[in-house]
Every structure is written in structure tokens, then in C-alpha cells.
Structure 1
Amino acid sequence: MLPRISRSRLVKRTAYTTFGLGAAYLADTELNASAVTRNLRTLWTCALISADYKLNFTPDHADRIPAIHQRVADRMYDLFTSNGGLYIKIGQAIGANAALMPAPFQQKFARLFDDAPQIPYPTIARVFQREFNKSPQELFAYFDEKAVASASVAQVHKARTWDGDWVAVKVQKPDVGRQTGYDLMAFRAVMWAFEKWVFDLPVYFAVVDFISTHLRAELDFIAEASNAQRTASLIASEPRLVGKVHIPKVYPEYSTKRVLTAEWIDGVRLSDREALGRVVGEELPEKSGGMFADTAHEKKNGIPESMYHVKLKGGMRAIMHAMVELFSAQMFDWGFVHCDPHPGNIIIRARPGSALSSKSSSTPVLRDPQLVLLDHGLYVTIRPTVKRQYASLWRALLTSDWDTIRNVTESWGVGEAGLFASAVLMRPVKIGRANGSNPLEKAHGDPSKELNAYEQSVRMKERLKRFLVDTDKMPKELIFLGRNMRIVQGNNQSLGSPVNRIKITAYWASRSLVTMHERSSRAWWTRLDAHELWRDVLFRTAMFSLDIVFWVSKIRQRVRALLGLTNGGFEDELERSVRGFARSAFGVEVGPEAFEG
């Protein structure tokens, strides 16, 4: 037995230690927004992941590898949802690039939605006192104390200005600003450790500056207001988009770095499939999982009173055509791209002032649809050289211009042109000549061979290493461009593939190459590049075959619908092709969740 004095000292030390840890935890929670606790949770989770892979990821335990992937996906998902805040944004970024990750990651991160409990009104009032030195009731004629939407970073309240305008007031949650620096620091450390010690893959290069900088910028509402105003100005100068797309008006006098006030918009969320189908008069295909899932978290706003007796002309096709044209213009003309166009950030409404037609009071009024784009916090600016290369790559991929493909991919430090091309178009691309030889990549092993889980992972790791040959050359803008393209593809697929997304995007890419100096004040005929104009003619000829494929798919889709069979569209066929391509080329099973955007 311990001496009496030793037991007494032990009890005291235990009490002091417990008290000290409790005080430290309380101080961290109240004064530091739980930053230390969150970092410890992050480091502990990543230590478990590292140990799991190091100990169990071996050829002798190939049958256990699916279970390892499931455990790791569960741990990462639990970490992101427990920490919340910026971790949700990081998790969504991973989910948008999960197509070639193991199936458990695809399934888990497709369900990582950005919603959170709203913070109480007294906390919101303190934010207003700090930002405006006024309460919400003093600043606005009316302010709803209950938020209409709440995410991990901010929540939105409905208000009315003293001039009578209804507005949406986005208020940043106070803890987020205090947590951001710690969160990014921990994330950098974890990614560095994963690259150097665990996976031996070039994952750190994309995080260090580019992603971190853009995630920080997303928390600056002054920058978000500037992005919205710039996009509105660009749309106003583009005749093909005027009236079809609207950016809510920003109220600078009611906005600060942590509070953003913009025009209130009544309409139907793109994520509300039932309401959207009613206002366009179309039945949407059944869809389970992904961005449009009818899950418990879904915010069902329904149809606003102003649209009760309205039917939108052009249906889903008009809506998706405007969406694809908008983001094509951003990528290829403006070089200023909204990187988070998920369905919750898009509202569909009747275009104000559009022509009306109704035979009777019981007949719905026909109105032109208008797409309203929200949440302008995450934008990326594409350098002119990269923008031109990206447009050239799109056109080259559709016209089998191998020399251009090789020049662009090599200049970007990409070693797997076929894999990269498939990611760009979101359809399988096999780079090679008519005789079957491949000037850009050589086969490594037998892709048709049945692989176990360990061999699949090793092959994918080797392909990714060959894919990212020189990470210093890789334009970091491509990280967010890929995210944008996947979400738009998912939107089109979920609405039944009403438009030929690839054709519309490719036409914008080709048109942007015809003019040498974009948005010049000179007359258009003085800005034409004869060489690019001729290549554009060849491109348009090549696109005819793609259009035939699309319309054959539409006919097949309608016939299957009449027969009561699964009503899959063009994007669904492309998805199946990509999944088959990944299985045959890499030995990897890509789940349907990877294509949900």
C-alpha cells in the first residue's frame, strides 16, 4: 500500500490536474471558440487514420481494405460534422473531388450538407452592435429575429429597410472568425503529414496557399458584395444573358465584413424538385441521394404566393440552358467564376416585366423564367493565359486535336491526359489516334485484369502520381473550375438532362477563341483572328455528331418513359460511361454519389 502522505499528494495532484484541465477547457470554449479542442480532435482523428492505414493497408490484408476505407470515411465525416464551421466547407471541397476516391468517401461526402442550428438572437444583436453600433431594430424598419436559413458559417434573416425594401440579411456567426486561423493551420499540418508520411501523394500543393486563401476570402462579406456587384455588371453587358439571369442587389449601407444585406428574392429553390416541377409543368425524373435528396435537412420553401398562378415558359430546358451559358461565360469570357453553384444557391422565378398571356383567370399565366444566383463568397479569377488554354483544351478534346491536347496538358504538368480530359468533359475520353496508338499515355499493366482491393488502391496511387507530374506547373484555378463543372453537370442530370451541356459549354469555349481581345471597344470584325475563325468552323462541323447523339438519347429517354421504364437522360448515360471507363482503365468502382456535384 502507498504511504498515507503519498495517497494525499496523489489526490491533491489529481484534483489540481482536473481543475486545471476543466479551467482550460472552459477558457477555450468561452474565449477561444473551442479552437484548441477542435484542433486536438482533428489531430487525434488524423493520428487514428494514419495508424489504421500504416498497420492494415498491406497485400496480406487485401480483404480488410474496404473496411479500412469505411472506417476512415466515417471518422473524417464525423470530424467535419463535429467541428462544423470551415470544416464543412473543406469537406464539401473533398466531396466535389471524390469521383476516384474509394466508394465509402463518395457516399459519405455526397451527404455533407452545409446546414447547422441557428444561433440565438441575442448573439446576432451583439454582432450588429459591434458592426453598426446599432441593434437590428434600429438599423431596419423590421427584422425577423428567427433566421430563415442557417449554415455552418452564417445565417440569414428577413428584414425591411426604412425605404420599404425587403432584404435578406446574412450574418456571420461570431465563432467562425476566431476558429478560421486555427482550422486552416491544423488542416495544413494534416495535409502535409498525409503527403510526407502516410500516402506519399502530392496533396499538399493544392492546399497551402490557393484553397486556404479562397476559403478565407469567403468569410469577408465586403469581398462577397464586390463579387456580386461585378457579376451583375458582367451579366448586364452580355446580351445572351440579360434578363435570363439576375444577381440580387447589394445594399452597401447595410453591409460590413460580417454582415451582408441584399435584395430579398421570392422564387423556387432549384433544390425543391416538387415545387419546381409544378411551376414549369413537367414531371422530374426520380432521383435518390445526392444534392436533390428529400432528406430531413432539406429546406422546403415551396412556391411563393407571387407564383401561385404562374407557369414558366420553356420548362427545364430554358432554366438549364441559362445556367450552362452563365457559367460558360464566366469560365471562357470573363475569367471570373462562381465556384459554389449547388441547387441551394439557385432560385428560379418569373422574370419581372416579362410578357403575360392567359385565356382565363383559371389558366396559369405564362412567364419567362429567370435564374437568380446567390452566395457570391467563393469566386476564382482565371489568368488570361490559363483561360485561353482551357478553352483550347475544350475545343481540342471534341475535335481530336492531339497536338493541342499534348501541348496544354504538358504545360500544366499533367502526365495522364486521358484521365484529365475525362475529368474536364465529365465523359470518358481515350486519347489516341485512329489506329489505336496513343501518343500521350501508355498502358501500365492489364486494365481488364480483376484486381483485389489492395491492387486497386496501388494502381490508383500510381496513376495519380503520373497524373500530377509537376504540381508547380498545375494551374490552381483548375481545382475550383472542376468543382463548378461537376456541380453544373449534377444539376443538369438531376433535372433529366434537358440540355446538351457539353455542346453549349464547348460553343462558348470556341467562340471565346475567335476574338483575340475580349470585350474590346473596337468593332467585332476588326477583332477576328482568321486562324481561330477557321478552326471554329471545323469545330462546329464536328459538333454536329454530338448533337445527334444527344437527340438520340432524348428520344430513347422519352420512349422509356412511355414504357414505364427508368427515365435516365443524357447525363445518366455519360455517368455510366465514366463509371465503366474508371472500372476498365483503373480497376476502380466509382459510385453514383460521385456525380452528384
Structure 2
Amino acid sequence: MVLARAWQAGLRSRNPLSINSPVLKHTRTFSVDSSVNGTRPKPRWQRYLRRTGYLGLGVGVAYGLDRQFNASAIGRNLRTLWACAHITAEYKMNFTPEKSEQIPELHERVANIMFNLFTSNGGLYIKIGQAIGANAGFLPKAMQVKFASLFDDAPQIPYSEVLSVFQSEFGRPPSGPGGMFEYFDEHAVASASIAQVHKARMWPEPGQAEGEGQWVAVKVQKPAVAKQTEWDLGAYRIVMWLYEKSFDLPAYFVVDFVSDHLRRELDFELEAENAQRTAAYVAQDPRLSKTVYIPRVFPALTTKRIMTAEWIEGVRLSDSDAIRRLMGELPGASTPLRGGTRAIMDPMVELFSSQMFLWGWVHCDPHPGNVIVRPHPAAPRTPQLVLLDHGLYVQLTEEFRRDWCAVWEGLLAGEWSVVDGVTRKWGVAMPDLFASAVLMRPVKLGRGRPQQRESEERGKPIEEMTNYERSVMMKAKLKGFLTDTDRMPKVLIFLLRNMRMVQGNNKTLGSPVNRIKITGFAASRALTRRTTSVDLRTRLAEYYHYAFFRAVMFSIDLAFWVARTRQWVWHALGLGRDGMGFEDEIERSVRGIAKSSFGMDVGADVFDG
């Protein structure tokens, strides 16, 4: 028995298929540690390194293709989403009662992230950032400072890209043999985020000699903009949706309206039509036709990406010192124009008041860079305003136009019921705050002071609140301000932007005109136009209403002239006059109300044009 077992064990040890056989052991080891061709595989770290290299190569190729053929649209969107994730994480982790003292630093970091995003992406991001900055008074102080420096300026594209746009649109070069113009300056005179402007001279007309063609301004859209637009607007839609969901504040309701108007701003044929329509309105107004000019456009030399308009020489309103020298308020002009800066701002406020209340057709970008002042061609000592950049307009419905007139007249005539009825119709609560935003001056409606009423609602003085408590209170007020976003007229976004810029222009020039008075009378005139007769009782009621309105306007005008007189006295004494104008006093009052009532720290330059 023992010998038999020994013999079987020996047999198993010699069997090549035995589990413990050296042959099977070798075979198992070979099958695990060898490849098919018999070579040993590379170590794991080398395989990971190779895969990382392939991934990096793929990302690099995708980046190159996106940059070359898609104007970096995908990369811009990834940058946007990363910035949004960063901002969301910052607020989720650091906006807490325990970190109340660090909230100003939090706002500073977020402001830097947003500013860097807008400036890095450029294009439509600048336009979106400026739209946000137009209401910077509702943002934290750090964001107010950052958005105030967000200018629509960008490097020029090379002439080779300008040439490609001309070839695409006209099939011809800008100049040279067979060119669109006799002369075309290859160096742009101005460059913004979506387009740049070149000076050119048209071919001479029959009867003109060589070199006598008209000088024109040629606006050329940058090629990357068309590729980036839908990507940028898609990212804007995602960002606003995330903002609304993350912070529980109404924001997404404006996306479609804003996106549609930004698209319109990229259509230069539409801009040319806007300019022609505005020129027709101006020509029909006997007052404005003598003081305002819209440059002539040339439809035959205009496409969706190229627009040609009359070249205008003058001084941009953004150069306030040059404007004052031109108008004789500072030394330096050989033949200063008559009327001082009042002769500039008076027709400007009249122009935009007529657009809002009479025409229902409103230019929404009247920043000082889009206004030129020149001597009137027919009266060289009289100033003439030239309005540029007609890409962004809004059309008011007749119902909204009349409601807008009623709000303005009701605010100035003390008709609380009218203002309350219209604002509730628009889905807007807190009429005190809305009225202050419209008039750009403190307004209280109804009984009692707003500060007292809100202090009772809060139950705690704002001075005793922490930064976190103030922020929470402000968020609640913003949510309560819009009770029904579906009913809110979206055009209010652009109208308030327009008014803010006009006010800033008036302030920059030392508040030479009573903006509120001019605008109020324009609203009243537009509202009282009648085509039918009324009974005696109704007419007497209207006379009483108008008398009260005139009394309020007189009090506002009196306050304006008191401020104006103080300016003159200080200037005569050599103490300067900056910061002493009527608009400056209004702003100080608004900032005081915002601080004491809403916990908003509004910067002194947030209302600048």
C-alpha cells in the first residue's frame, strides 16, 4: 500500500498537466507575464503616461481647431462655466453668518472673477457686462468699482481679416484696383469688442475730380463675432439659469429679450435702418432738427457685417475738458461756440425724452463716446449734437408708452394711485424704490417716511445689522421688488439704462440743465395730446391737475437754480465746482436713502455716463 501511493505520487510529479507540475507552473506564469508575441509588457506607470500623452494631444488638437475654425467659442464657454462654478462655490462656502466680517472680501474676489471673465472673453461679454454695470447700484461696492472700468475697447484685428470680410460681403477689396473705395485707411480709427471703424473716401461722383469723393466711416464687424455669438448667448442662458437656481433671485426672465437685442446689434443692415428711421423722426421735430444730426448712411455700401456712413468731425462728449474748451467754459478754443454746455445737454435731454414719450423709439446706448459735438454747418457758432451707433434700439408699444408717461407725470404730480396702479400692472412692488430708480432721486409715496416704515418691518436698525444680515435683507427686497416677472415690461431694462447714461452725461458736464424738469414736461406733453373734446368737469379736473404739476416742477426748478447758483459762487471764489451740481446733490440723497433704507453702499461714480 505504501509503495503504491509512492508510485502514484511519482507519476503525478512527472505528468506535465499536473497542477504542481513545473511545466504547468511555467505555462501559467508565461500566460500572465507575457504578451502574445512573447515580449514583456511595459510597466503600469508607462501605460498611464502614454494615455496621458494621448489625452493631452487630443485636447491640444481640439483647442487648436476651436481657436482656428471656431474663434475659441468652446474655450470661452468652458472659461465661463468654470468662473460660474468658482463663484457658486465661493458663495456657498463663505456666505455664512459665521463669516459675516469676511463678506466684503468675498465680494471683492467675485468681482475680480467676473471682471476677468468679461475682459478675457471680450465680444458680447463686454456688452453683457455693460448691461449689468448699468444697474451697478444694486451690486456690492467691489462690483460697482469693477464694472465702472469695463470699457468697450479691444485690440484691432489685422487688415488681412478686414480684407477677408470685404471679399466675403462684396467680392471686392476695400481699395485699390476694383476696390469699394478710392482710399481706405488700413489702420482703424477706433476698435470695440464687436467691430472697428476705418476712415475711407468714396470714389468721385460724375463731375468730381479725383480725390474729391466724400469721406465716410466704414464699420467692419470682426470675423470671430459671428462664430462666437450663439455660443456666447448659450453660455449666457446657462449662467443666468444657474444664478437664479443658486441664489434664488429672478434673473432668467430677461434672457430671451436681451439675447434678441444683442443679436440685432450685430446686423449692420438693421443698424442702418435704425439710423434712417431716427433721422426721419428728428427731421420732423422743429426743435430737434436744428440741434441734432444723424449721420447719413449709404445702403449700397452696407451689408450685415459692413456699414458705411458719413464721416463726422467733432469732439466726443467723453472728452469733457475738450467739450468745455469748445463751448468756451475753459480757455483754449480760438472761436468757442455759443451757449455753453447748456446748449449741449438741453437738446440731448429733449432728444431722448422725445424718443421715450413721443416716438416710442429709443436709442439704448447713449454713452458719451456715442455723442459728438460739432459747429452747426449752417451756423458755425452754434453747437450741433451728432448721435452715433444705432445698433441697439427698443420699440415701445402704445400701451406701454402711455403708461410710462403716466408714471412720470404721476411721480411729479404726486398722484400715488396712478403710480401704484401702473407699477402693480407691471408686476413691480415697492413703488418707492421703483420711483427713485426712475427719477434718479429720492421719492417717497404714500404716508409716512419709507425709512420709518421699513425699519418697523425689519424690527432692527440697519446700523446694527451684520454684513450677512444686510445682504440677506437686500436679497429679500430684490425678490420682493419683482412680484411677477411675466408681466414686467422687459424694455424697462433698456429705458433705465438710457436714463442713467443721460444723467451721467449731464453730471459730467457740471449739471448745466434740469434734467428732471425737461423730462417731466416731455412726459406731460405726450400724455395730454388729445384728438377728442371733453366735458367741462373733466377739463377743470385736468386744469387743477396741471396746476399742481406745475407747482411741483417749479419747486424742482427752484432747487436746481439754488444748486446752480452755489456752483457759480464757488467757481468765482476759485474753490472749484466739481461735485456741486444738481445731479451730484441728487446722487448724494439717493446714496443716503440706499444706505439707510436698504443697506446698499452705492459708490459716488456709479451714476457716471
Q: What TM-score does the superposition give when structure 1 sets the normalisation length?
A: 0.89
> How many residues matched?
553
Classify 1:443/1:508 alpha carbon distance in 2 versus 1 (closer, same or farther; 3 Å).
farther
1:380-395 correspondence to structure 2 within 5 Å: 380-395=394-409
Among 158, 174, 184, the residue aligned to 1:143: 184
Residue 428 (1) aligns with residue 460 (2): no
Shift of 1:10: 2.3
What residue identity is the alignment partner of 1:154? Answer: A
Contact kept, 8 Å, 2:345 with 2:513, in 1: the verdict is: yes
Question: Which residue does 2:457 correspond to in 1?
Answer: 444
1:157 aligns with 2:182: no
Partner of 1:347: 372
Give the structure 2 partner of residue 323 of structure 1: 348
Q: Does 1:51 align with 2:89?
A: yes
Residue identity in the other structure for 1:54: K
Does 2:324 correspond to 1:277?
Answer: yes
Does residue 168 in structure 1 map to residue 217 in structure 2?
yes
The farther-off stretch of 8-17 and 466-475 is 8-17
Q: Which amino acid aligns with 1:558?
A: W
Q: Whose relative contact order is higher, 1 or 2, with alpha carbons under 8 Å and at least 6 apart?
A: 1
Residue 109 of structure 2 aligns with which residue?
71
Aligned to 1:10: 48
1:474-512 Cα deviation digits (max 9, x unpaired): 110100000000000000001000000000000000000
Pairs within 5 Å for 1:91-490? 91-137=129-175, 138-163=179-204, 164-196=213-245, 198-207=246-255, 209-283=256-330, 309-354=334-379, 367-433=381-447, 443-445=456-458, 446-490=460-504
Match of 1:592 in 2: 604
User: Paired residue for 2:554?
Assistant: 544
Instruction: For residue 534 of structure 1, report the CA deviation from its aligned partner.
Output: 5.6
Report the CA distance between 1:439 and its aligned residue.
13
> Once structures 1 and 2 are overlaid, which stretch shifts more, 585-594 or 26-35?
585-594
The CA deviation at 1:48 is 0.3
- Letter of the aligned partner of 1:272 in structure 2? D
Deviation of the 1:545 alpha carbon = 1.1
The secondary structure found in structure 1 opposite 2:384 is strand
User: Partners in 1 of 2:217 and 2:58 — Cα distance?
Assistant: 44
Q: What letter matches 1:444 in structure 2?
A: E
Query: 5+ residue gaps in structure 2?
Result: 1-39, 205-212
Task: Give the letter aligned to residue 187 of structure 2.
Answer: K
In the TM superposition, what is the alpha-carbon distance from 1:18 to its structure 2 partner? Answer: 1.4
Contact 2:432 2:450 in 1 (8 A): no
SS in 2 for 1:592: coil
CA distance in 2, matches of 1:459, 1:566: 39
Does residue 505 (structure 1) correspond to residue 543 (structure 2)? The answer is no
Shift of 1:441: 8.1
Deviation at 1:310, TM superposition (A): 3.2
Shift of 1:532: 5.3
Aligned twin of 2:25: none
Q: Return the offset for 1:594.
A: 1.5
Q: Which residue in the other structure is 1:582 paired with?
A: 594
2:68 equivalent to 1:30:
yes
CA distance change for structure 1 residues 491 and 443 in 2, over 3 Å: closer, same or farther?
farther
Distance 1:332 1:20, change over 3 A: same
Distance in 2, matches of 1:269 and 1:465, equals 40
**Which SS does the other structure have where 2:219 is aligned?**
strand
Q: 1:459 Cα shift?
A: 1.0
1:125/1:136 contact within 8 Å kept? yes
1:385 and 1:510, CA in 2 relative to 1: closer, same or farther beyond 3 A?
same
How many angstroms apart in 2 are the aligned matches of 1:80 and 1:184? 13
Letter in 1 for 2:262: L
Q: 2:194 is matched by which residue type in structure 1?
A: V
Residues 71-96 of structure 1, C-alpha deviation per residue, up to 9 Å, x if partnerless? 00000000000000000000000110
The equivalent residue for 2:14 is none
How far has the Cα of 1:443 moved from its partner? 4.8
Cα distance in structure 2, aligned partners of 1:562 and 1:315: 17
Q: Which amino acid aligns with 1:314?
A: G
Letter in 2 for 1:596: D
% same residue? 58
Q: Is the 8 A contact 1:91 1:109 kept in 2?
A: yes
The letter of the residue matching 2:371 is I
Q: CA shift at 1:596, angstroms?
A: 1.3
In 1, are the aligned partners of 2:152 and 2:193 still within 8 Å (CA)?
Answer: yes
SS of match in other structure, 1:594: coil
- Cα 1:436–1:108 change in 2 (3 A) is closer
1:535 alignment partner, one of 545, 549, 564: 545
The alignment partner of 2:236 has SS state of helix
Contact 1:447 1:587 in 2 (8 A): no
Note the C-alpha offset of 1:258.
0.2
CA contact (8 A) 1:168 1:264 kept: yes
Q: Any gaps of 5 or more consecutive residues in structure 1?
A: 285-302, 357-366
Residue type of the alignment partner of 2:196: Q
Partner Cα separation in structure 1 for residue 233 and residue 547 of structure 2: 48
Q: CA deviation at 1:6?
A: 2.6
1:13 Cα deviation (Å)? 1.3
2:318 touches 2:368 (CA, 8 Å); kept in 1? yes
For 1:6, the aligned partner's letter is R
| Cα offset, 1:14, TM superposition | 2.0
The aligned counterpart of 2:128 is 90
